[in-house]
Amino acid sequence: MVVAKSNNLSDSLEDYLEDIFNLEGKSDVARSKDIAKLLGVAKPSVTGALKLLAKKGLVNYRPYGYVTLTDSGVAEAARVAGKHNIIKSFFVNILGVDAKVAQEAACKAEHALGPAIISRLLDFTDFITRTNGSGSDLADKFKRFRKRQHRINK
């Protein structure tokens, strides 16, 4: 089930873009080797992806040179990274999922959820994080609820 995207970017290319974005944020520059390591792919795979992204005008690529995002590359990457954070935040802060598990699941789910759902998920996380009438945080309430539900397994 390969899905046509409006932005014409495959899941794979979105991942590259996102990682370049994160690397730029950390060290102002993305090195091919680091991209490969972060994504868990071999170096030639990175070269191939960079060429594709360059053709789409999303990265500035020159053989043996440093990699930077173009303006539209930054925009695209930020969109993907934003999804990632919204999803991960929901998993961690609301569902109480382990950070590492949440991180990995968010990596995959970010390609599955469109703007309608992402927007609602963001609002919902915001909503549920707030203190409600009872003066007790709902995420905490849920943790206790879940503990009760599963006490038989503990």
Instruction: State yes or no: residue 41 binds DNA (CB under 7 A).
Output: yes
Among 101, 129, 131, 140, binds its own copies (CB under 8 A): 101
Q: Please tell me the distance from the alpha carbon of residue 67 to that of residue 59, in angstroms, as a whole number.
A: 7
CA end-to-end distance (rounded Å), the chain: 39
Quick one: which segment of 7-15, 30-38, 47-55, 74-82 binds its own copies (CB under 8 A)?
7-15
Which one, 43 or 144, has the nearer CB to DNA? Answer: 43
Q: Please tell me the distance from the alpha carbon of residue 85 to that of residue 91, in angstroms, as a whole number.
A: 10
Report the site for its own copies in 28-67 (rule: CB under 8 A): 39
Q: Please tell me the distance from the alpha carbon of residue 87 to that of residue 101, in angstroms, as a whole number.
A: 12
Beta bridge partners of 131: 137
Instruction: State yes or no: residue 76 binds its own copies (CB under 8 A).
Output: no
Q: Are 61 and 68 in contact (CB under 8 A)?
A: no
Q: Which residues bind its own copies (CB under 8 A)?
A: 1, 3, 11-12, 15, 39, 91, 94-98, 101-102, 105, 107-109, 111-114, 116-117, 120-121, 123-124, 126-128, 132-134, 138, 141-142, 145-146, 149-150
